[in-house]
């Protein structure tokens, strides 16, 4: 436990009974001086003679010779005075030693107090340094926690944004797939509708061709009864294939059919082969796809264009080949 710093100078502690001891010491010195004085004066004084009166007659006796007095004894120094002085000196020396010891103790107390104050100051400085270090560490830890929290928050925001973008991309992809499915379904429905229309038109054309053929056969039957078997020869020649198509006839028909194809979709990889049967005069008897492109809408558009090209052009020999195939691709 350290003492509080005081502005007053340090003083030796007040000893109790100092005044009483001082008075007793003075009294003892006075008594000692009194006894020493009277003792020395008593030893140096000469004893007085005694006197006496005689009332009776004294017999005459020879007067005795006076005895010689013994020589006075040498006066020795008074030992009590030397002992007292020695005691006084010893007491003074003892008092000085006590004072020196007291001063030394006081100095030691002051040194210990200064040492304790220095130790307390050093501890206070050390505690202040430790508190400052602890505050700095706490501040650094708090700053680190804030940085980690900010980084975690930023990471969560990035993850949330990434997840949101991913969800949006998935939704967009799902919408695109739904649109594609709807488009495919619409195209399939359109293709089915076009195919149905083409089949209906083909049936209609086939019915018209059959009606024409029946009409032509009816006309040919009347000629046969009038003029022999000329139709048989003609029929035989046509049925046997009479004339084959010239090398450039299929391309000629393709150039005629291609402008009639109505198509606004993709054109890459589309190729359709159509087999055609015609009468010698170019009347279209039938048309069907022998190799499709994989796109039903394009195949339906190509077949419809072929059916709309009735009658077919004549070949170099003035007749239309009975059977031939044409390959159709999108223009461009």
181 and 235 in a common domain: no
Count the domains in the chain.
Answer: 2
Would you mind telling me the total number of residues written for the chain in this entry? 332
| 154 falls within a domain | yes
- Same domain assignment for residues 89 and 153: yes
Same domain, 90 and 177: yes
317 and 235 in a common domain: yes
The boundaries of the domain holding residue 236 are 229-328
**Confidence at residue 216, expressed as pLDDT on a 0 to 100 scale:** 58
Residue 103 inside a domain? The answer is yes
Is there a domain that residue 253 lies in? yes
86 & 167 share domain: yes
- The pLDDT assigned to 9 comes to 60
For residues 198 and 303, is the Cβ–Cβ distance under 8 A?
yes
* Paired tokens of 179: 């649109």
- 322 in a domain, yes or no? yes
Q: Which residues of the chain have pLDDT under 50?
A: 1, 220-242
The whole-number pLDDT of residue 72 equals: 61
- 176 lies in the same domain as 84: yes
171, 250: one domain: no
Are both 100 and 179 inside the same structural domain?
yes
The confidence score (pLDDT) of residue 226 equals 33
Q: Establish if 169 belongs to a structural domain.
A: yes
Query: From CA 65, how far away is CA 37, in angstroms rounded?
Result: 38
Among residues 265, 274, 270, 275, which one has the least CA distance to residue 322? 275
pLDDT score, position 289: 92
User: What's the whole-model pTM score?
Assistant: 0.32
Q: Residue 297: which of 200, 181, 180, 183 has the closest Cα?
A: 183
pLDDT in tens, 223-263: 333 333 332 233 323 333 345 778 888 888 988 898 888 88
The pLDDT, as a whole number, for residue 288 is 92
**What is the CATH number for 295?**
3.30.1150.10
Per-residue pLDDT, 273: 93
175 and 83 assigned to the same domain: yes
Residue 197 lies in a domain: no
């Amino acid at each position: 436990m350290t003492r509080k710093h005081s502005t007053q100078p340090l003083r030796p502690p007040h000893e109790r009974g100092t005044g009483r001891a001082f008075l007793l010491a003075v009294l003892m010195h006075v008594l000692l001086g009194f006894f020493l004085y009277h003792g020395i004066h008593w030893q140096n004084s000469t004893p007085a003679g005694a006197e006496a009166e005689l009332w009776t007659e004294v017999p005459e006796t020879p007067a005795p010779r006076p005895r010689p007095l013994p020589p006075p004894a040498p006066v020795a120094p008074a030992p009590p005075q030397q002992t007292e002085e020695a005691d006084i000196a010893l007491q003074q020396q003892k008092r000085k030693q006590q004072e020196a010891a007291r001063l030394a103790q006081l100095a030691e107390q002051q040194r210990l107090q200064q040492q304790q104050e220095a130790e307390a100051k050093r501890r206070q400085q050390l505690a202040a340094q430790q508190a400052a270090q602890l505050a700095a560490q706490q501040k650094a830890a708090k700053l680190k926690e804030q940085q980690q929290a900010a980084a975690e928050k930023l990471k969560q925001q990035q993850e949330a944004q990434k997840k949101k973008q991913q969800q949006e991309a998935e939704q967009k992809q799902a919408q695109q797939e739904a649109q594609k499915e709807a488009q495919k379904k619409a195209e399939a429905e359109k293709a089915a509708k076009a195919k149905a229309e083409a089949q209906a038109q083909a049936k209609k054309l086939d019915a018209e061709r059959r009606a024409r053929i029946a009409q032509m056969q009816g006309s040919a039957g009347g000629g046969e009864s009038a003029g022999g078997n000329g139709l048989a020869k003609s029929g035989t020649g046509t049925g046997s294939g009479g004339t084959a198509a010239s090398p450039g006839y299929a391309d000629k028909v393709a150039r005629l059919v291609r402008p009639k194809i109505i198509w606004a979709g993709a054109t890459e990889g589309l190729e359709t082969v159509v087999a055609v049967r015609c009468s010698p005069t170019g009347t279209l008897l039938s048309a069907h796809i022998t190799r499709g492109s994989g796109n039903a809408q394009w195949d339906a558009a190509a077949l419809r264009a072929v059916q709309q090209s009735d009658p077919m052009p004549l070949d170099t020999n003035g007749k239309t080949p009975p059977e031939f195939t044409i390959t159709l691709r999108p223009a461009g």
